[in-house]
């Protein structure tokens, strides 16, 4: 699961999700432009169940995605 998130964060989801294996707390996320920061140290798997912890700064991350949308719209004008 972590490998998939890491691959996505470096591939087609680059700039949208971030993957980390550093110990982080909520204050570390303030001002982070990614929509979600996957906490690789918190991932747990048990049979067919998986727990993934994702952090986000909902105001700043959302604002960054809106800027992305505006850039796409501007290209199509």
What is the mean pLDDT, run by run of 10 residues, along the chain of 77 residues? 97 97 95 97 96 94 95 94
Pick the CATH number of 2-75 from 3.40.50.720, 3.30.300.90, 3.30.70.360, 3.30.360.10: 3.30.360.10
Q: Would you state the pLDDT for residue 58?
A: 86
Give 4's Cβ-side CA count (13 Å radius): 3
CA–CA separation, 43 vs 8, rounded Å?
16
Enter the pTM of the model. 0.85
> What is the three-state SS of the chain?
CHHHHHHHHHCCCECCEEEECCCCCHHHCCCCCCCEEEEHHHCEEECCEEECCEECCHHHHHHHHHHHHHHHHHHCC
């Amino acid at each position: 699961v972590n490998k998939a998130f890491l691959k996505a964060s470096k591939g087609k989801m680059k700039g949208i999700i971030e993957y980390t294996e550093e110990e982080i707390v909520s204050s570390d996320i303030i001002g982070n432009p990614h929509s979600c920061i996957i906490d690789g140290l918190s991932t747990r798997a048990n049979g067919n169940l998986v727990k993934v912890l994702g952090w986000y700064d909902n105001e700043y991350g959302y604002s960054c995605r809106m800027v992305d949308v505006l850039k796409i719209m501007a290209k199509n004008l």
